[in-house]
Amino acid sequence: MTHPHDDERRGVSRREVLRSVAAAPLLGAAGSMRWLPHGDSRCLVVLELDGGNDGLNTILPLEDPAWARARPQLAGVRRGAHRLAGGFGLHPAMSGLHGLMRDGLAAVVHGVGFAGSSRSHFHNRDVWHTADPSFRELRADSTGWLGRAADLLATGGAAVPGLSVGSLSVPLVLKAKEVVVPGLRRIEDYRVLVSPGPDAARRREQLIALATGEGEGRKGSDGLRSFLCGVARTAADSSEALHTALARYRPKARYPATALGRKLQLLARIVICGFGTRLFHVNFSGFDTHAGQLATHEALLRQLSEAVTALVRDLVAHRMADRVLGMVPSEFGRRVAENRSGGTDHGDAGPVLWFGGALRPGLHGAHPSLTSLRDGDLVPTTDFRGLYGAALGFLGLDAKPVLGDEFLLAPGVNPVRA
Amino acid sequence: MNRARELLAPWQPSVREPFDLARAGHLLRRGAFGGSLALRRSLVARGVDAALDELFDPSSDPQLDAGFTDVVAFDDIERVRAYWVWRMVQGPPRIRARMTLFWHDHFATSNVKVRSARLMARQLQLFERAGLGKFDALLLEVSRDPAMVRWLDSESNVRGRANENYARELFELFTLGVGQYSEQDVKEAARAFTGWHLRGESFAFRQRFHDGAAKRVLGRRGALGGEDVVALAAAHPASARFVARKLLAFFVHPRPTTAEVDALAAAYRDAGRDLGATLRVLLRSRLFFSPRAWRSRIKSPVDFVVGMVRCLGGRAAPLRLTRAIADMGQVLLEPPNVAGWPGERAWMTSATWLARTNFAGRLFTAAYKTHPAAATVLERPRPAQRADLAIELLLDGVIDDTARQAIHRLAETGVPPADLLHAVQCLPEGHLL
C-alpha cells in the first residue's frame, strides 16, 4: 500500500496532530467529545480496604487496658508498635506509613461510621459508596458519591474526570448520572498493538489509516461510518499522546512488586504526567479476617503501607504531593472482642487513614470508648459524610449537590489543611 | 394497514436481489452469532427458507445442554459466563441462542446483587427453554425466577409493607414503558405480588405474607394476585408495541419507525403473542432484508468476539473470550443496571475500540493453528486473491471500491495474512452488525 502522506505525517503535521489531540478524550468518552487538560488541578484518591479493616489492630489504643483485655491474642502486635501521640500506636508492619506521619504526610481520623450500620458487607459498602445511610436497594439510577462528583467535574470540561484504577469493572461509588467513568487495568493495553517485527511502526500506521478511513480517502460517507472513523482517530491519537507523556515519567520512589504497588504506580504515572483525571478509586481487598488474623492482617497492612509510602514519596519528589489527597476508608471496623478463631467479626466504627501533602498531621477526632459499646461494637464519633465533605472541599467542589447536605465536621476533626 | 403488510411481507429473492453470501451473513449475524464461510455458502445453496428452518430448528442438543448441570453444580460465576460464551461459539446457529442474550438484556439481572452463580445459570436456562414461546408464559416464569426475586427485592414484599421494585420494573422496563401506567397501578400491583418469595433457592408463594384484599391494576378490579397482574401486563395494548419495538431494535434497526412498530405489534398479536412465530415473520420479511437493516447496528462485544471466532470456524478458550468481552465493556451476567446495556454507539469509546482492535490482532496472529478458515488465506498465491478472501471471510465480500482497493494495496506490500485479516476486521464495517 502506498503512503502519499508518510513523510508529512512523520514530520511537522504529525506532531501538530498529536499536539491538537492533547485535547482529545482519553478513555471512556464516546465519540469526539473535547477533553481539556487540568494539569495543575487537585486530585482525590480513594483507596478502599475491602472486607472491613480491623481498625483496632491498625491504630492501636495501647494505653487502654480494655483493648488488651478484649483481645488477648491480637494485642500481641503491641510489641514493635510504632508510637503515636496520645498513647496510640501504629501496627508494627507499617513503618513506611509511620515515616509519612512523622513527616506530616499522613493522618488519621478516629471512629468513623454512621448510625444504622448493619454488619453486612454489602449494605455497608453500598452506604459508603452512595453516601446514603438510608440506602436500601440498587436501582437503575443509583449513583455513587464519586460518580456525582465526576458529573460536576464533567460540566467543568473534563471528559475523563474519574478512573477506576487497576480494574475494568467500575464500582457503585463511581457510577454517575451523566458521564461514564471507565476502568483502566494496564496502560500498556491502551495502544494499538501489532505483532512484533521489523516494520511494526509502519504496519501500525497502515492499520490506523484503514480504521480511520484515511488511507481510502472516504471518511464520513454516512453517520455510523464517520462515527466509527472518529472513534478510531481519537483512540489512536490520544493513546499516542498519552504514551508520549508517560515516557517522560521517571519513578522517583521504589514501588513494591505487589498488585497494590502496581496499581498505585499506574495512578502516579497518570497524575504526574498531567492527564487531568481528578478522581481515582482503588480497591484493596482481603480484610475480612474472621480467622487467623495476625498473619493475614500483618501482610495486608505491610502491603498497604509500602505501596502508599512509595506513592507519596514519588509525588513529593515530583513536587506534586500538595495536589493529591488520599483517603483510606473501609466498609466497617470489626468487633472489639476477638473471636475464638484468632480473628474478628463484623463490627462498626473504624479509623480512616489519609495521605498527601495537604494534611493537618496527627490523629483527629475522638476515639470511641472501648467499654461503652453498642452490641459489642464501637460507636462512631464522626459521620463518614463529613470526611467526604472535606475531600470535596479540597477539590474545590460543593458538597451539597454531591452529598445532599454540607455535613460539616466538628472543630479539630478535619484532617485537610484549609 | 397495506403499508404495514408490505413491510412484513415475505422477501422474494430475485435475479437482481438473490439470497447471496451477504444476505446469508446478515441472517446469521442477526438471527444467531454469525457463521463460517462454509456455513454461509451452504445456506446460499439451500435457499432462504431452508436457512430459516435451520435457524428455527427446535431440537436441542443434549451434549451442549449437559454443561448447564455442571456449571450449576460448580456455582462459580466465571464458569457460568465462560460456559455461556462457549455455547455461543460452539453451538449450531439458532435463534433460540440469540434470544437468550436478548432476554438477558431485557430482563437485565445482575449477579452483583443476586450473588449466586447457580441462580444466574438457572435464569439462562429459563431463557433458553421459554424464550421463543408465548410472552405471557415467559413473563410469568421470569416473575417467579429466583434470581429475579432476589434482584428486584420480591422477598421483602409483604402484606402491609409492599416493596414496589418488581412491580415498577415489570411495567416500566419489561412490558409497557413509562407513561402507560400510573403510580397507583404500581402501588396496587406491588400488593398483588406480596408473598412471592423463595424457599431455599426455589420460588414459594407464602400465603401469610400475601395481601388478598381488592386492588385496581391497569383498569381491572378484584382480589388480584401476581398471575393476574402478569396476564394484564402481557395483554395490554402498549405491551405489544413495547415488545415489538425491542425486537425491531435488536433484529432490524436501532430506531424503529412508528409504522414498523405498528406492523410488528399487529403480527405479534395475530400470532397470539407467540415469539417464535412473530420472529419467523420478521426474519423472513422485506424489512429484514432491506438496506435499512443492513449494517445498521453496532456490534456488541459479544457479537464482535463470538462472531469473529465463528467466522473463522474455529475454537478459542472461552475464559479468554469472556475476559476479552469484558475488556470491551460487557461483563455478561452483570449488566450495568436493570435497564440493561445502553448499547449501539455507547459501546464505542477510545478504550473499547483499542480493546477490540488489539483482541482481533491477537486472535488472527494465533489463528493459523486453530482456525482452518484463516489458514486458507495463506494458500492463495496472488495478493489480490488473498485480499478478496479476507474480505469474503470477515465481511461477506461486501465493501465499497475504495476500501477494497486499499486492502488490495495492503496485500501487495506482502504483509502477513494475519495483518491482512486484522486490517479488514478493523475497518469501520468490521464493527457493524
Same domain, A288 and A368: yes
Lowest mean per-residue pLDDT among A404-408, B26-30, B338-342: B338-342
Residue A39 has pLDDT above 50, yes or no: no
Same domain, A371 and A323: yes
Interstrand relation of B220-222 and A183-184 (parallel, antiparallel or unpaired):
unpaired
Same domain, A179 and A319: yes
A2 chain-B contacts, CB cut-off 8 A:
409
End-to-end, the C-alpha distance of chain A in Å comes to 60
For residue A76, the one-letter residue type is G
Same domain, A223 and A334: no
Residue A140 has pLDDT above 70, yes or no: no
ipTM above 0.90, yes or no: yes
Lowest mean per-residue pLDDT among A291-300, B253-262, B395-404, B411-420: B411-420
A227 to B426: CB separation less than 8 angstroms, yes or no: no
B415 to A25: CB separation less than 8 angstroms, yes or no: no
pLDDT at residue A171, as a whole number: 85
The answer to whether residue A410 is domain-embedded is no
Under the banding of pLDDT at 50, 70 and 90, the label for residue A359 is: very high
How many whole angstroms separate alpha carbon B60 and alpha carbon B96? 10
How many whole angstroms separate alpha carbon A336 and alpha carbon A346? 10
CB of B233 within 8 A of CB of B242?
no
Burial class (CB in 10 A: 0-12, 13-18, 19+), A192: buried
Q: Which of A231, A243, A275 to mutate to test the interface with B (most CBs of B within 10 A)?
A: A231
The answer to whether residue A365 is domain-embedded is yes
Residue B107, CA distances (Å) to A244, B77, B78, B147 in order: 44, 18, 20, 11
The answer to whether residue A411 is domain-embedded is no
Share of chain B above pLDDT 90, in %: 77
pLDDT, tens digit (0-9, with 9 covering 90-100), for B301-328: 999 999 999 998 777 788 999 999 998 9
Q: Which of B164, B333, B337, B350 to mutate to test the interface with A (most CBs of A within 10 A)?
A: B350
CB of A121 within 8 A of CB of A288?
yes
Residue B377, CA distances (Å) to A99, A256, B270, B428 in order: 62, 47, 48, 21
Under the banding of pLDDT at 50, 70 and 90, the label for residue A8 is: very low
Domain boundary (A228, A245, A262) is at A245
Under the banding of pLDDT at 50, 70 and 90, the label for residue A30 is: very low
Same domain, A158 and A236: no
Q: Quickly count: other Cβ atoms within 10 Å of residue A245's Cβ.
A: 17
Domain count, chain A: 2
Same domain, A123 and A223: no
pLDDT, tens digit (0-9, with 9 covering 90-100), for B140-173: 999 999 999 999 889 989 999 888 889 999 999 9
B357 chain-A contacts, CB cut-off 8 A:
192-193, 207, 211, 232, 235
B348 to A2: CB separation less than 8 angstroms, yes or no: no
Determine the residue of chain A that is closest to B426 in CA distance.
Answer: A211
- Using the CB atoms, write b or e for A50-79: b if 16+ within 10 Å: bbbbbbbbbbbbbebeebbebbeebbebbe
Same domain, A182 and A291: yes
How many whole angstroms separate alpha carbon A81 and alpha carbon A97? 12
B415 chain-A contacts, CB cut-off 8 A:
203, 206
pLDDT, tens digit (0-9, with 9 covering 90-100), for A108-133: 999 999 999 988 888 899 999 999 99
pLDDT, tens digit (0-9, with 9 covering 90-100), for A40-81: 589 999 999 999 999 999 999 999 999 999 999 999 999 999
Domain boundary (A245, A272, A287) is at A245
- How far away is chain A from the Cα of B221, in angstroms, using its nearest Cα? 29
Minimal Cβ distance to B350: which of A27, A122, A203: A27
How many whole angstroms separate alpha carbon B378 and alpha carbon A82? 67
Same domain, A196 and A320: no
pLDDT, tens digit (0-9, with 9 covering 90-100), for B59-71: 888 888 888 888 8
Same domain, A300 and A226: no
Residue B368 has pLDDT above 90, yes or no: no
Mean pLDDT of chain A: 85
- DSSP annotation of B147 reads H
Determine the residue of chain A that is closest to B410 in CA distance.
Answer: A1
Under the banding of pLDDT at 50, 70 and 90, the label for residue A200 is: confident
pLDDT at residue B372, as a whole number: 66
- How far away is chain B from the Cα of A282, in angstroms, using its nearest Cα? 18
Q: Give the domain range for residue A333.
A: 43-187+252-403
Under the banding of pLDDT at 50, 70 and 90, the label for residue A36 is: very low
Same domain, A78 and A164: yes
- Using the CB atoms, write b or e for B5-15: b if 16+ within 10 Å: eebbeebeeee
pLDDT, tens digit (0-9, with 9 covering 90-100), for A204-247: 999 999 999 875 444 444 688 888 988 888 788 777 877 877 88
Same domain, A177 and A234: no
Under the banding of pLDDT at 50, 70 and 90, the label for residue A27 is: very low
A211 to B409: CB separation less than 8 angstroms, yes or no: no
- How far away is chain A from the Cα of B347, in angstroms, using its nearest Cα? 8
pLDDT, tens digit (0-9, with 9 covering 90-100), for A364-394: 999 999 999 999 999 999 999 999 999 999 9
Same domain, A263 and A279: yes
pLDDT at residue B268, as a whole number: 98
**For residue A75, what is the domain's CATH number?**
3.40.720
The answer to whether residue A358 is domain-embedded is yes
Residue A227, CA distances (Å) to A222, A239, B176, B211, B431 in order: 8, 18, 32, 53, 11
